[in-house]
Structure 1
Amino acid sequence: MPAQTVTPLSVLVTTVTFALFLSVTAHVAARNVLGDVDPRRALYVGPLPAVVSVVGGGFAVPAAVTVTVAFALDAVMFKWSYEQPPRVVAVMTVIHAAVTILVGVVLGGIALLLSTRPA
């Protein structure tokens, strides 16, 4: 199998896709904690953690550092976007992490199952 080429376009598409995914899961977390909220606010939450994750992966930054910085930025963006007290922001951030992991595992499992289907 040939080595994959990383292009600026592939990095951009990956970052934007991951930012949208994180924004959707942020909206789920915010709805879980706050009830009915404006979905546009979640669009502010996803991009910074996505950029940190893509850049951290691209430059081989240790996962502990990348995850910690992304998690902290997630909380900062929840605080800025939803204007809630620190305790509520902490709950939203933890729920966002849990929802993101759960949805990611489910989507990864579906992708794995689809990749093993007969041709």
Structure 2
Amino acid sequence: MLVLSLGPLQSTTLPVLATYVAFAAFLSFTAFLAARNLLGDVSLRRHALVGPPIAAIAFLAATFELPSFLALAAALAVDAAAFRYLHDLGRRLLAAAVLIHFVVSVILGAMLFALVVLIGSAPV
């Protein structure tokens, strides 16, 4: 008789899924900020498509311990494909959109991480 134990799997699945969804939402929001900065008035709803595949690349790279530069290259390529699909941009404008998205994501992510560390180190 085959018995499957799903106890440990269930206890780790929800936090991983929540982290993935939060990271995908963060990347979608920063893609929206980048597009808004570069193109003007854009829809936030359309940029919800950008974050999930990039977050999946990050999770897969971490899971399978792939080299960071390969994951970054894949994420930038997927980001460029998403921006091209959403806005049909030329090469120069597409490169600018991807670069701005990368910079905004790094800066906002560093600020949020610093805020979490600062709040975590506050005296009780």
The partner residue of 1:101 within 94, 97, 106 is 106
Q: More deviation in 93-102 or 57-66?
A: 57-66
Aligned match of 1:38 in 29, 35, 43? 43
Letter matched to residue 94 of structure 2 = V
Q: Secondary structure in 2 aligned to 1:37?
A: coil
Q: Which amino acid aligns with 1:22?
A: L
1:45–1:81 CA contact under 8 A, matched in 2: no
Distance in 2 (CA, whole Å) between partners of 1:18 and 1:52 is 11
Displacement of 1:39 after TM fit? Answer: 1.2
Other-structure match for 2:54: 49
SS of the residue corresponding to residue 45 of structure 2 reads: helix
In the superposition, the TM-score normalised over structure 2's length comes to 0.87
What is the CA–CA distance in structure 1 between the aligned matches of 2:13 and 2:51, rounded to whole Å? 20
Provide Cα deviations, 1:61-109, integer angstroms capped at 9, x if missing partner: 1111111111111111111112222221111000000000000010011
The aligned residue for residue 27 of structure 1 is: 32
Which is higher, the Rg of structure 1 or of structure 2? 2
- Aligned-pair identity in percent equals 37
Q: Any stretches of 5+ residues in structure 2 without a counterpart?
A: 1-8
- Unaligned ranges ≥5, structure 1: none
1:55 Cα shift?
1.1
Supply the RMSD in Å over aligned alpha carbons: 1.4
